[in-house]
Structure 1
Amino acid sequence: MKDFGSDKKNVVQANLDAQKIAFAPIMFQAAKSLRNLGILEYLFNHNKADAKTIATTLNLSIYGVKVLLEAGLSLEMVYLKNNEFLLTKTGYFILRDKMTNINMNFTQDVNYLAMNHLEESIVNGKPEGLKELGNWDTVYMGLSELPEKAQKSWFDFDHFYSDYTFPDVMPILFGNNPKSFLDVGGNTGKFSMECAKYDPTVKITILDLPGQTKMARKNIADAGLENRISAIDINLLNNNDPFPKGFDIIWMSQFIDCFSLEEINGIFKRVYDAMTPDSSFYILETFWDLQKFPASTYSLHATSLYFTAVANGNSQMFHSKDILKVIEKAGFVVDEIHEMIGMSHTLIKCKKKVL
């Protein structure tokens, strides 16, 4: 594994960063309150203001606005000049950046209470925090039954990153005029419907758990695409349940991060058995070691802990080399790698190894 990070901070900076970690859950709530109560919006619209003016306009107590703004100073979301508060670039990101808001809502609505069970999850190898949302073995079994707010934040988080990949991946996938796709872990059917819109002749089959295929079938019917997209219920962890054959492309998007390396190996072997020498197997994933910006790597490392405490207890956002080893072990060769697809993804095209 390639070296990552360093220990070059001075003692003062290291101590400050340690306190940021110690108080992180408290300060997260302060940032969210500054956003949700309209304080950041007020500063954006009025350039600068004192706490009393903001409190009077928003019908909040001066005390409440003051403690939040003072927390905002240490969060570097606002700064103070001549007794008036002004919005910083970081504050603007919290207020207006779509990705930041989706990440914050995902943290609050899906993960916040669950993360109290992270240590248990590590020790027991199970998503002990999932009990805060419902009584399932994995979050995927309960996606269609999640509390409304948590469900919205979960799907907003999942779709936001994958949606950005569509314009980049479609020309690659359809470059050789494929006639059929197997969308493994197709979830709500969003990717399959995008394929059907991109090419009016392609036929697609979704493989997923019954709860997800139920949602997918409804979405597909609403879009009038039942004649071109079908769905099959399957337990993706049952290695005795083979994948259907006869597809030009087998596709997995943001899917393998939902499983352990051992489980991925079993899934890949079933993909191998379902393929012909002419089939192509595409994997679209966010690998933390292949990110262009530190913010992406940080977000992926945090997301791994969601998988630990909430999703399933044994998966993560992987280092690319971990998955390349599983690809080789399953009998594939890597035919192409396309980095920086969308915001942060890598697309890997695999073929059966010629013996």
Structure 2
Amino acid sequence: MQMNSEDIRELASAFQKSRVLLTAYDLRLFTHMGRKARSADDLAARTRTDVRGLDRLLGALTAMGLVIKRETTYRATESAFRLLSEESPEQLSLGHLSNLYDNWGTLTRAVQEGGTVLEPDFDTEERREHFIAAMHSRARNNARELAVRLPLAQTRHVLDVGGGSGVYSMAMCRAWPGLRATVLDLPQVTPLTRRYVAEAGLEQRVKTRDGDMRTSDWGQEYDFVFLSAIVHMFGPEDNAALVRRAHNALEPGGRLALVDFLMDDTRTSPAFGALFALNMLVNTRQGDAYTESEVRRWFEQAGFTDLGCVPAGPNTRMFLGTKA
């Protein structure tokens, strides 16, 4: 693909639009706007910001198509209200991306040193809630679509490893009557899981199990193990061990489904995966975007048979295997 100087400049300045949007999100600007046209003075008072500074932010949001300006007032567009206001059930959770924005400023050092240079700070209540909310928001629609495609007709009990909010477990239980699920996650996370599950009214079918997936006992009473958006957080040895743990937890004939941003063997496609690999470099010690070939090797080494890989959703693929 041929690029000119303007293309390069646009790439180099793309962070500006991202930061404008994330600043508006951090200030809860679209929630404060609601559906009304408001002045910059009014919105500055509501967001506790400087009037001049907020007016410039509103100008940029208007130029980006997220706000409509009429004389001296500003109003959110319909799509901005629907996707960015807390008053909307379709609001996107961007708090995690706002956190990542700062982290990506360390990319140069991460490339130089071969891994994150950040101090671990995930285990704070605010960041934990942002992360779980972001994963829930991102997965919600795809979970419904994927659940009906999963081979669960004969399944009784699913183990959802690192299941966070339980979004996939809940979708599976809704799609398959009689199914029950257990979400295995850290004890700092499972209270959030139970909150999401209670809000969905599925407490009788979706339970939690506290533990570190790499060291804790998973149990052995499952006929399906679901491992979604997990392996990119860890190195190859840990991931091979997780697949072995899944094999041990399954009854004979049980299946493992691994869903992630799987790359081709060139590690340049799809583009999302190539960028996501850098996200893992910035934020983790050993995390990465892995290839389908690498995942296949983990499955084969663990003893899985009947292997296959299919599209799972936007930018993701699902690798399946059966315990003989």
Would the TM-score normalized by the shorter structure come out above 0.5? Answer: yes
Aligned to 1:247: 222
For 2:229, give the aligned amino acid. Q
Aligned to 2:161: 184
Paired residue for 2:318, among 332, 341, 347?
Answer: 347
Distance 1:262 1:67, change over 3 A: same
Partner-residue secondary structure (3-state), 1:14: helix
For 2:97, give the aligned amino acid. T
Q: CA deviation at 1:66?
A: 6.6
For 2:118, give the aligned amino acid. G
For 2:185, give the aligned amino acid. D
Residue deviations 1:183-220 (CA, integer Å, cap 9, x gap):
22222333333434444433333322222334435655
Native 8 Å contact 1:116 1:129 kept in 2:
no
Unpaired runs of 5+ residues, structure 1, are: 1-5, 47-52
Counterparts of 1:77 and 1:210, CA distance in 2: 42
For 1:115, give the aligned amino acid. W
Q: CA deviation at 1:263?
A: 1.1
1:171 and 2:148 correspond: yes
TM-score of the two chains, using structure 1 as the length reference: 0.66
Partner-residue secondary structure (3-state), 1:165: helix
Q: CA deviation at 1:267?
A: 0.8
For 2:255, give the aligned amino acid. S
Higher relative contact order (CA 8 A, sep 6+): 1
Q: CA deviation at 1:340?
A: 4.6
Q: Give the 5 Å matches for 1:2-21.
A: 6=1, 8-18=2-12, 20=13
1:154 and 2:131 correspond: yes
Distance 1:288 1:153, change over 3 A: farther
Aligned to 2:299: 327
Unpaired runs of 5+ residues, structure 2, are: none
Counterparts of 1:332 and 1:96, CA distance in 2: 44
For 1:349, give the aligned amino acid. L
Residue deviations 1:306-325 (CA, integer Å, cap 9, x gap):
43333x32213434344234
Counterparts of 2:109 and 2:185, CA distance in 1: 29
The answer to which structure has the higher helix fraction is: 1
1:107 and 2:85 correspond: no
Distance 1:112 1:245, change over 3 A: same
Counterparts of 1:246 and 1:66, CA distance in 2: 59
1:225 and 2:203 correspond: yes
TM-score of the two chains, using structure 2 as the length reference: 0.71
Distance 1:64 1:325, change over 3 A: same
For 2:95, give the aligned amino acid. N
User: RMSD value over aligned CA atoms?
Assistant: 4.6
Aligned to 2:18: 28
Paired residue for 1:266, among 233, 238, 241?
Answer: 241
Aligned residue pair count:
310
Q: CA deviation at 1:281?
A: 1.0
For 1:236, give the aligned amino acid. M
Native 8 Å contact 1:94 1:101 kept in 2:
no
Identity among equivalent pairs (%): 16
Q: CA deviation at 1:234?
A: 3.0
Distance 1:304 1:96, change over 3 A: farther
Q: Is 276-285 or 99-108 further displaced after alignment?
A: 99-108
Counterparts of 1:178 and 1:37, CA distance in 2: 43
Native 8 Å contact 1:105 1:153 kept in 2:
yes
